[in-house]
Each structure stands twice: as C-alpha cells, then as structure tokens.
A = this chain, B = another copy of it.
Amino acid sequence: MSPDRLRALLARVAAGTLSPEAALDEVKHLPFEDLGFARLDHHRALRVGFPEVIFGQGKTADQVATLATRLLAGGHNVLVTRLDAATAAEVVPRVPGLVYDAVARTATCVVEPPAAETHGTVLIVAAGTTDLPVAEEAFRTLEAFGNPVERLYDVGVAGLHRLLASKEQIVSASVLIVVAGMEGALPSVVAGLVDRPVIGVPTSVGYGASFGGVAALLGMLNSCAAGLTVVNIDNGFGAAVAASIINRR
C-alpha cells in the first residue's frame, strides 16, 4: 500500500465518508510489495495477528537481506527463522541492528516494542538437552511477539521427579509449549497436570525408529491427554505463533 493511497484512505475516514471499520478492512487485505522473487506482506499483523516473518531455510543471503531491509523500511520488527550460521554471517553485516542467535538459528531486529497485553506467561518445557534449538526458536519468537516467557528444560518422562519438582511453575503458566523428541511422551504427561492450553512440538531428536521425529509426532497426535494440539516436527516457530495468538488478550 503506497503512502499516497493510505493518505487518501485516511482522508476519507477523517471526512466521515469512510467508517474506521471499513478502512481497517481494506487495509487488512490488499497490500503487499512485489519483489519479484517474493510478495512481502506488510500488513499481515493486521490480518492474522502477527507480522510477516522471514523463513530463512532455502533462501539466499541476498534474498534474506533484501526482505529484512524492506521490512525495516516499512517500520516493522524483523524476525528471521531457520537461518543457518553461514547465511547469517553474510546477512547480519548488511542489516544494521540485526542480532543472530546460533542456538535458536534466528535473527531479530526490534524497532518498536511489541504490544504486550497478554493473559500471562508462556512456559516452554523441553524433554532433553538436544531439543534446545527447537525450544529456543519458540523462545525467540514468543519474545519477539511480546510475550513473557519462561523455560523448563531436561525434564523427560523417564525421570518424572525432575518434572514434578517444578510443578508450581507448570500449573501457573498461561499457555504451555512442550518440546520433545524420541517417544514424545512429555506433552501427554504435562497436559494431564494443567488446565491451560498445551501445544506439543515433536523434534527430530533420536535415531533408528524415531524416523526423524515421526515417532514423537505420532506419540503426540495419539496422546491420551485430550486437548493437546500439535505442530509439525521441529516447528518451534509455529508453536510460538499459536501460543502467542492464544495468549493475546
């Protein structure tokens, strides 16, 4: 949406010939910026409640840097996910203010603080040390979208006492993201302890018959704890987006 068009629109609102709701509706669905290789969605936040995020995997450093620069030019915060270290090394120097997190494989640049009206704290529970990249991707995303976040890591079901020792923290969360590889049983156990939304994230951690996370995914989909919902294998970002939407007042 060009500044001119937006100006004209607002003028009509000001003049009373367009209601604010109608204006909002128009702004929600039209605008994107055609970069040839991509159509950048500057108004995604208005429409679906969270801003355009750059999925780094499979994109060249050039493409990522261009998209990040255009978002910043539009006054948006930047979040890049699935950005490997090599690409990040090329992108970061070209985008002032961009900060890379090697564990979470994310890059962020905050130009205006995200809105913060939430129901409470989102808790990220992870079964093992090797699940951290996925858990931290969720952490960075939740942070970028303005949620209070806490972490509870290495509490797999084969040592229940480690989980139960943190029961206070668990039951007081507003939304829970539970990250687990291997048999993926942790979300079932956690969902049986709380009365708040629980989102399971299977990870590709494991070997042999874990089939790259399929065992964990099936474990969560077939959970005997009703009410658990699930996202794709290793999709810490998607779980964080869902948790953020739920947590938004």
| Residue positions of A touching B, CB distance < 8 A | 29-30, 32, 36-39, 41, 44, 47-50, 53, 55, 57-59, 63, 82, 127-130, 132, 153-162, 165, 182-185, 188-189, 191-197, 199, 202, 204-235, 237-239, 241-242, 244-246
Contact = CB atoms under 8 A, between A and B. Distances in A.
Given A162-B41, A188-B157, A182 B238 contact: no
A208 B197 contact: no
Contacts of A244: 227
B245 A238 contact: no
11 contacts: A37-B132, A37-B154, A39-B162, A41-B162, A157-B188, A158-B226, A183-B183, A185-B189, A208-B217, A208-B233, A209-B217
When A and B form their complex, which 10 residue pairs have the shortest distance between CB atoms, in order from nearest? A208-B233, A49-B195, A185-B185, A229-B229, A58-B130, A215-B218, A158-B225, A227-B241, A158-B192, A183-B219
A183 B212 CA distance: 17
B209 A218 contact: yes
